[in-house]
Amino acid sequence: MKKKILIIIGVILLSFLIFLLFFFLNNKNEEDINYEKEFINQGYSADETTLILDKVPKNEYNNFLSFGYDKSLIDILSSKDYKEDKFNNYIEYYLKNKKSNIADIITIVNSGYDLMNYPASSLLANLVKEKYYINDYVARYLDYGNSNNQDSKKIIAMVNSKADLGFYSNSYDSNLDENNLVIVNKFYHLKEDYTPTDLVTLSGQYNKGVNNKMRKEAAEAFMKMVDAASLENITLYNMSAFRSYDYQDNLYSRYIKRDGKEAADKYSARPGYSEHQSGLCSDLNEISDSFEGTDEAIWLKNNAYKYGFILRFPKGKEDITGYKYEPWHYRYVGVEAAKIIYEDDITLEEYYAYYIENET
């Protein structure tokens, strides 16, 4: 008897729940019904109206109605990348860029960058998707990109490295507080009297050059790298490491006398702008183009980053670094930075702009 009563109660409860569910599914809020009619009266189809009611925040219905019928608004709501919390941003940006591609508008707004006052374009949409995009440089990205037929990754690299400004066009003091990540290039220079205080001498199997000093941490990493290479029958040694300002001055002057200033600037640094003065780099084995393709060069290219060194002037990056490809020139930056630079195939200029300057 108790079992039957429980069954009856269960059936009654289930029936009541089904009734409630049916009621809520088939009875819309009167206010929603009124909005539905207004959207349809404006020309939106039943499916489009359903989309509006589903995707637009309820407190924005009146605002949406004020635009009249606009198919582009439906395209925004239909986008797979549409985010309801960015509704107002989409509308604001769209109203300023009515002739632009809706996908570009969605991408630019979704980036989260402050770009409301920049015209929408496929170029801008591609730029914000790049890993090394820096919002502070957006005007320069667009200026350079609109003047040069290059992909977004190259545009980012050129601007981040300041190469778009022209080499030696601006001069900044290298920030020595960055330690192993201090940058010295055609924009950042060291003072004439700068000499690292922790230089140590490379000797024995580690050196065959006159300029045989490196900063302590870099030297220790260098020797560790040389030892690791020797276990694979690869012989590495330093040919030129630390150079003073005066040494570089004499070297650069000789190159100018021999080849002219324009040519010399492609392979030699001006005094104060040489990375060798930092005590963090080394020219290994053979300072010649013939070093490319040797077993030693290949080993370095594939393994140096494990010991904190990077190929400083890679092939194909001459317009970013300002120097010709030098397969023998390696720079110590530490293992963490070297791994990123190696895996992402970027230069120290690009790394410095994004991870150092962009973080300050």
Name residue, tokens 């006398």.
257
pLDDT, position 2: 55
* 15 Cβ contact list (under 8 Å, min separation 6): none
- Asked whether residue 157 is domain-assigned, the answer is no
Look up 349 and say whether it is catalytic.
no
- Asked whether residue 332 is domain-assigned, the answer is yes
Domain holding 282: CATH number? 3.30.1380.10
pLDDT tens by residue, 214-267: 999 999 999 999 999 999 999 999 999 999 999 999 999 999 999 999 999 999
> What is the domain range of residue 230?
172-359
- Asked whether residue 176 is domain-assigned, the answer is yes
pLDDT tens by residue, 267-276: 999 999 999 9
Confidence check: pLDDT of 16 > 70: no
Cα angle at 37 between 97 and 44, to 5 degrees? Answer: 35
Q: Which pair of tokens denotes residue 38?
A: 């207004």
Q: Which pair of tokens denotes residue 281?
A: 């780099």
Domains in the chain: how many in total? 1
pLDDT tens by residue, 123-157: 999 999 999 999 999 999 999 999 999 999 999 99
Cα angle at 192 between 243 and 244, to 5 degrees? Answer: 10
Rounded Cα distance between 272 and 129, Å, is 37
- Asked whether residue 288 is domain-assigned, the answer is yes
Rounded Cα distance between 255 and 259, Å, is 6
- Asked whether residue 344 is domain-assigned, the answer is yes
Q: What is the pTM of this model?
A: 0.87
Choose the catalytic residue: 296, 326, 349, 350: 326
pLDDT, position 25: 43
Confidence check: pLDDT of 31 > 90: no
Q: Which pair of tokens denotes residue 202?
A: 């490379």
